[in-house]
């Protein structure tokens, strides 16, 4: 299995030179009907070692808590927001509070003029509904498009969004702050090499092969400098250097990890320390796949 080398300073604080994502492993099997169409994953801060999941459109407006092995540990109703087409979930901390952002941005038909990013304070008590904290409403600058990938950068005060079906894939940003006005997403640039189907995909299936490279999820590393972007066959990494903005980081083809076979991979989340990634599927039952960082010690003289 392919492994990927990233500058360790972007991921770890340990005194080492480089970090390597190891081979994928099966963390567990998702079988609970409460999570029968997972479209987003996000690490929990209120429940250490656990992750939140949401289901796609057509399902109830709920947050589902799972452990690191994919076992369902409880569900929480949300108030103040409907599941029009929930496509991704992000976890972040702001002003000492823990929040979850639901990206209601799915648009298979390319017709939606009003998209929503719903923010909830992360539930601690699974017996109480999660109340809406605020909603950021926005539109695209040049007409509707589908989007299933969102990540939150609370330090820079923005939500990062990656388009689906567009070739090349596009990176946008929307302010995270509360606003009574509809925002307009700002295009940061194109993500090279993600949405383009390869010859192998097309040879195996001329019809469905072109969908294999479509972007389905994203997450931001805890230090805010590595954006992991998922499609059905791989994880791509946009790496931002110290003091560098995202547009500058888009200048070259992104390093990537090939996925093992996963039925409809549509969710990805970093662990709290950034040493692990979980990838989930929109089908049931399905494997929950984990990647771990393998660190190399710094050579000594």
Q: What is the dihedral of CA 221, 91, 141, 235, to 10 degrees?
A: 40
Work out the number of other CB atoms within 10 angstroms of the CB of residue 169: 24
Residue 178 CA: distances (Å) to CA of 137, 172, 233: 9, 18, 36
d(CA 165, CA 119): 26
pLDDT at residue 287 in the model: 94
pLDDT tier for residue 196 given thresholds of 50, 70 and 90: confident
pLDDT at residue 79 in the model: 95
User: Mean pLDDT throughout 3-21?
Assistant: 42
Give tens-digit pLDDT for 59-98.
899 999 999 999 999 999 999 999 999 999 999 999 999 9
Cα–Cα nearest to 236, from 151, 154, 301? 151
Domains and CATH numbers, the chain: 32-290 (2.115.10)
**Does 235 score more than 80 pLDDT?**
yes
For the chain, first and last CA: distance in Å?
32
Least confident window among 5-19, 39-53, 214-228, 269-283: 5-19
Contact 129, 78 (CB under 8 A): yes
**Does 3 score more than 80 pLDDT?**
no
Residue 298 CA: distances (Å) to CA of 12, 70, 295: 13, 35, 9
User: Mean pLDDT throughout 246-267?
Assistant: 89
pLDDT at residue 9 in the model: 35
pLDDT at residue 193 in the model: 79
pTM summary value: 0.90
- Given the DSSP bridges, would you call strands 130-139 and 183-184 parallel, antiparallel or unpaired? parallel
pLDDT at residue 103 in the model: 98
User: Going by C-beta distance under 8 Å and a sequence separation of 6 or more, which residues neighbour residue 199?
Assistant: none
pLDDT at residue 192 in the model: 83
Task: Give me the half-sphere count of Cα atoms (radius 13 Å) on the Cβ side of residue 159.
Answer: 32
Give tens-digit pLDDT for 149-186.
999 999 999 999 999 998 899 999 999 999 999 999 99
User: Mean pLDDT throughout 125-148?
Assistant: 96
How many residues are recorded in the chain? Answer: 301
Rounded mean pLDDT of the chain? 89
Contact 227, 201 (CB under 8 A): no
pLDDT at residue 143 in the model: 95
Contact 201, 211 (CB under 8 A): no
d(CA 163, CA 251): 18
Residue 212 vs residue 80, higher pLDDT: 80
């Amino acid at each position: 299995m392919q492994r990927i080398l990233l500058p360790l300073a972007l991921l770890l604080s340990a005194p080492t030179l480089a970090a390597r994502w190891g081979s994928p492993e099966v963390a567990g099997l998702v079988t609970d009907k409460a999570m029968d169409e997972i479209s987003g994953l996000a690490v929990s801060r209120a429940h250490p070692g656990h992750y939140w999941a949401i289901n796609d459109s057509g399902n109830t407006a709920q947050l589902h808590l799972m452990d690191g092995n994919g076992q369902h540990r409880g569900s929480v109703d949300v108030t103040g927001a409907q599941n029009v087409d929930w496509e991704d979930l992000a976890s972040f901390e702001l002003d000492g509070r823990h929040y979850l952002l639901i990206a209601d941005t799915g648009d298979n038909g390319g017709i939606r003029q009003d998209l929503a990013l719903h923010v909830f304070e992360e539930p601690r008590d699974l017996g109480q509904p999660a109340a809406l904290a605020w909603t950021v409403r926005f539109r695209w600058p040049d007409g509707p498009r589908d989007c299933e990938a969102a990540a939150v950068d609370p330090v820079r005060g923005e939500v990062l969004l990656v388009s689906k079906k567009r070739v090349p894939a596009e990176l946008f940003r929307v302010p995270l702050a509360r606003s009574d006005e509809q925002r307009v997403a700002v295009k940061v640039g194109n993500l090279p090499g993600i949405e383009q189907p390869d010859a192998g995909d097309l040879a195996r299936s001329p019809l469905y092969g072109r969908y294999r490279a479509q972007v389905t999820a994203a997450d931001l590393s805890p230090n805010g400098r590595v954006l992991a972007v998922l499609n059905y066959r791989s994880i791509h990494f946009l790496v931002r250097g110290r003091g560098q903005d995202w547009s500058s980081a888009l200048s070259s083809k992104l390093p990537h990890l090939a996925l093992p076979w996963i039925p409809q991979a549509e969710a990805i989340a970093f662990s709290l320390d950034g040493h692990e990634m979980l990838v989930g599927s929109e089908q049931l039952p399905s494997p929950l796949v984990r990647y771990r960082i393998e660190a190399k010690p710094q050579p000594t003289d």
